[in-house]
Amino acid sequence: MNIAGGKRGRITIHDVAAAAGVSISTTSKALNDTGRMSVETRARVKRIAGEVGFRPNALARGLLSKRSFTIGLLTNDTYGRFTLPLMAGVSEALVDHGVSVFLCAIEDDPALGQIHVEAMLEKQVDGIIASGKRVDGQLPVDLSKLPVPVVYAFTEGEPGSVTFRSDDAQGARLAVEWLVRIGRRRIVHITGPDDFFSVRERAGAYHAVIGGEGVVMYGRWAEAWGHEAVERIWSGEGEKPDAIFCGNDQIARGAVDTLRERGIRVPEDVSVVGFDNWEIVAGQTRPPLTSVDMELKELGRQAGLTVLALAEGRPVEPGVRTLPCRLVVRQSCGGKSPIE
């Protein structure tokens, strides 16, 4: 159908109205599911709009629906380790709905956080996604009484909110069960500070798989801690582990490098598994690192669809929702992929 009479340019609501033989007001109401008209008329207007490739611009849609079609993403993860893949998922989920996402990094500064929140509200965002550096820490700004919906992802939410996080216990079970499956029996867990919720969840799952004889070494989220922990183990007495499950990929990389320096082969002598699947680290470890992927992109996708539903007035059940992790098998632990 060539409703524009051969002219070039954007198809407008005027063109759709002319092709459907109705007024611009009726066309607008039909496309936005408002107003009173027959089911047949609404369906015909929508069909013609689709056939001619009509796409309303954001300003027009905003005026019609009292929405800005923008979502704010607020985070204190200024390094972007967790927020960038999460934002990719949010954007991917919302792009087909014509919704844009803009990111505000607030570090750990309450005053800066409040400035960014006020800026978002001035831009009339339809909702806010709050994200952080850990699942049991709140952002340094109060989001509990805002006039727009707020969804939390990879940070602690307010009571009665919707919060998304990865299932740390399930991810740790994947790693340890895989090591057991490939024949490892003396598995040590080297991880971060024990005041982190994720650390306690992963350590608990580790113990649940291997029993009460496991060894957990708590320390820092740093490559240097992986190096130090391996030095402690191999400088001490007793039988050495044949596998190390690490709390993140940086710790694992430090462990792998130190084992190699000591002439211990990975994975022939010791298998190593990390957590995060941070590809810039896991892919460049030698050998490449098997790691648990927290599926942060999917976390962002779900958070994006949820804040959109809330913005559109659809009912959403509050609570914490955990998404399953995935084990990415590379050369550092030996064996074949779990799906093979």
Q: Which residue has the higher pLDDT, 29 or 140?
A: 140
DSSP label at residue 192: S
Confidence of residue 170 (pLDDT cuts 50, 70, 90): very high
Confidence of residue 61 (pLDDT cuts 50, 70, 90): low
Region for 199 from its dihedrals, namely left if φ exceeds 0, alpha if ψ lies in -120 to 50, beta otherwise: alpha
Q: Which string of DSSP letters, residue by residue, matches 15-54? A: HHHHHHTS-HHHHHHHHTT-S---HHHHHHHHHHHHHHT-
Q: Mean pLDDT, to the nearest integer, of 133-147?
A: 92
pLDDT confidence of residue 107? 84
pLDDT confidence of residue 50? 86
Per DSSP (E only), the strands in 83-149 are 100-105, 127-131
Whether the ω angle into residue 287 lies within 30 degrees of 0, i.e. cis, is: yes
Helix or strand (DSSP H, E) at 299: helix 296-311
Confidence of residue 14 (pLDDT cuts 50, 70, 90): confident
Tell me the three state secondary structure of residue 274: strand
pLDDT confidence of residue 283? 92
- The CA radius of gyration of the chain, in Å to the nearest whole number, is 26
DSSP label at residue 214: -
d(CA 64, CA 12): 15
Q: Which domains does the chain have, with CATH numbers?
A: 13-65 (1.10.260.40), 70-165+297-324 (3.40.50.2300), 168-295 (3.40.50.2300)
Across the chain, mean pLDDT equals: 89
pTM metric for this prediction: 0.79
Q: Which residue has the higher pLDDT, 99 or 165?
A: 165
